A and B are shown apart, each in its own frame.
Chain A
Amino acid sequence: MLAGRQSWLFRNRPVILATGVTGGPFEAAGALPNDFDVLHDDIWLGQTSFEKAEKKLLEEACEKAIHKAGLKKDDIHFFFSGDLMNQIISSSFTARTLGIPYFGLFGACSSSMESLSLAAFVVNAGGARFALAATSSHNGAVNKQYRYPTEYGAQLPPTAQWTVTGAGAALLAAEGPGPRVTMATIGRIVDMGISDPFNMGAAMAPAAVDTIESHFRDFQLDASYYDLIATGDLGKVGHAIAGDLLQKHGLAIPGEKFTDCGLLIYKDDQPVMAGASGCACSAVVTYGHLLNRLRRGELRRILVVATGALLSPLSYQQKESIPCIAHAVAIEREDG
């Protein structure tokens, strides 16, 4: 099971039985509208606050995944979820609705792969027959908590990123048809001293590189094993830095194989500055777009490296630098 220093090999190859992917109007106008299960035309989702809207997105994603797998909530043994709100309220309130035994996680935008790797570990070890891994974010709620409320009208620098409004959930099972979770590498904190919350991509890039390097070392693999290696939400700035760092470390990944979820989800003409970010970014792109490509056979093996910036509004105001992390999960076709 344990592979190398910080990785897990899942010998029983847990299956992603079904996924649920929800989004808002800005995502509907983006580059991947067909990869969502549910798209809303109102960022409020008929709720009275952005936080309640985010919880609704997460509930819907989870319910969609359970429904698509032909299961009921009671069939799911454990629910692993994290989000960006203070005290991870979106996840906990969703767990209240679902009534499934729950692990609340905080990995900021790395929550998608943190929850998926833990759920896979539990299912692989026989700790559950069915486990649900999910995460969510909401642009309005995140701007309010971490940056400035939109109405305040603060200028954004070109390195800023656009938080995805959406949620993604993956239902893992011990057996069944679907893509397999085969490996995971758990990241350690990397902090290069960047303290600008409007340049998260640059702050997180070294963490992504550290985890990719560890993954290759622990499994004695190189980039040729994968058809695609996708980081979570580095955006244009972070993606370029990560590419350069990998090259410096002698691990250059060919351009067509190396992408970032934050560069895939929106169209070029959408005003997202350096790209997308948020917990939902890697979740919706992986559970929607990338798994669909895997199912269609366009890809056989992918490595998703979800990146997280573990700052709080308070730590940033107190001029602390931003600790960053990245978790990598390998997903392969069942015949791969």
Chain B
Amino acid sequence: MEKFILAFLVGGAICMLGQLLMDVFRLTPAHMTVSLVVAGAVLGGLGLYEPLIKFAGAGASVPISSFGNSLVSGALAEAERNGIVGVLTGIFEVTSAGISSAIIFGFIASLLFKPKG
């Protein structure tokens, strides 16, 4: 039960931050999303995002900030194995499933459905 509550609180806090970025700081939805990705990447680079995932589970791994963390951790892991070029080859390693499925499922949806306006 405690796990659920922590996930709810941390995930909810990240989403509330996103809502505040739009409502108070007048960011567009795209700018808000990118800001959260960058924040996740910075926290990941500093080694702070993994502990957050351990602490809150899905509350930290589901929001878009987790995508930034995955970008950086993939790049760092690959850089350790293959040197500096690994930064380039590793950046989409962990995230490739997410990116590929976004493209493929987006494409399938566009074939099957028509915008309702």
Contacts and interface: CB of A to CB of B under 8 A. Distances in A.
Given A155-B22, A157-B23, A50 B117 contact: yes
B115 A196 contact: no
Interface stretch (A4-12, A146-154, A204-212): A146-154
Interface residues of A, number: 16
A284 interface: no
Interface in A121-147: 139-140, 143
A290 interface: no
A154 B29 contact: yes
Nearest to B117: A140
Given A154-B29, A155-B29, A149 B115 contact: yes
Nearest to A25: B117
B26 interface: yes
Interface in B9-63: 22-23, 26, 29
Nearest to A143: B117
B116 interface: yes
A205 to B, nearest CB: 20
B interface: dominant SS: loop
Contact of B115 (A151, A155, A165): A151
Contacts of B114: 44
B107 to A, nearest CB: 13
A133 to B, nearest CB: 27
A150 B116 contact: yes
B29 A150 contact: no
B48 to A, nearest CB: 29
A43 interface: yes
B104 to A, nearest CB: 17
Contacts of A143: 117
For B23, B29, B114, B117, which residue has the most chain A Cβ atoms within 10 angstroms? B117
A39 B95 CA distance: 48
Nearest to B22: A155
Given A44-B114, A151-B115, 19 more contacts: A43-B116, A44-B117, A50-B117, A139-B117, A140-B115, A140-B117, A143-B117, A148-B29, A149-B115, A150-B115, A150-B116, A150-B117, A152-B29, A154-B29, A155-B22, A155-B29, A157-B23, A165-B117, A196-B26
Interface of A: 43-44, 50, 139-140, 143, 148-152, 154-155, 157, 165, 196
